[in-house]
Structure 1
Amino acid sequence: MTSYVEGSPVKALIVEDSAVEIMVLSAMLRRFHCEITIAKNGKEAVQMFLEGKKFDIIFCDKDMPVMSGPEAIEKIRTLGEIHVKIVGVSIDNAQEEFMRVGADEFMPKPMELDVVGAIIQEVIKKKNNDTV
């Protein structure tokens, strides 16, 4: 069930090197009318923040070439990006590693639509409260 989102769409950044994972998560996020940006590795994600781009939520994979998810999250938080919600994503249990570097949540793969949906609804609620 999709819900209508008031105001501007949620800006989601997917940091993932697997085309299949990008496709799956993008399809889920589109159901919640998210505006999706893709970074193929952590370095690309950090670069986007250095260029001044803003996101409401980041889904960040753990193991990627060039720069890992945890490395990227640590750098993004160091840049002062404390308001963006960061979800660490991995096939293995990397929850502790993600939380240590500043992630807000951890989601194991394969991701489930209802879990992604609940997180997006939370971000929408926060966005609507921030604009009120």
Structure 2
Amino acid sequence: MDLRTTFPRSMKTRLAGYVHLARMIDKCRAVLAGTEGEYIYPCPMDERLLDYAGITAEQFTAAVKANQTDDGVVEWFRRTATPHGEAEREAWNGKLLERGPSSPESAAKFKTYRDAVDPSRTDITAWSDLQDLEEGRPVPRRR
């Protein structure tokens, strides 16, 4: 995957029941290929998923390197990750998708990024929505 010319999948894309996993795979593949551009792997959102799954970035990277398909990575992830019930996982997914800036410094960065893309979108308060907006995906207006 060449993230210098295309975007990774949305954080909202679910794979193996987890949000962000597909995006993390895309970014990891790009880092392995040297085509990550301005994307960062592992970033703080990646670390949140890895911590929740009980997996290190090194383990995940090795699994992506060893498995050329999403199915192979998903199979490895299911065998390796700390098991979570569906209700717990869905609550965690929702929390990650709703996550916004967590400090005044982070809020200032968020506002700068959002305003660079569309300053009228003050309804956007979550990183997942800001990523989608920045990458050209539709983000419904919130009231």
TM-score bracket for the superposition, by shorter chain length: under 0.3
Structure with more relative contact order (C-alpha pairs < 8 Å, separation 6 or more): 1
- Determine which structure has more spread, i.e. the larger CA radius of gyration: 2
> Greater share of strand residues, 1 or 2?
1
The structure richer in helix per residue is: 2
Compute the TM-score of the two structures, normalised by the length of structure 2. Answer: 0.26
Scaled by the length of structure 1, the TM-score of the pair is 0.27
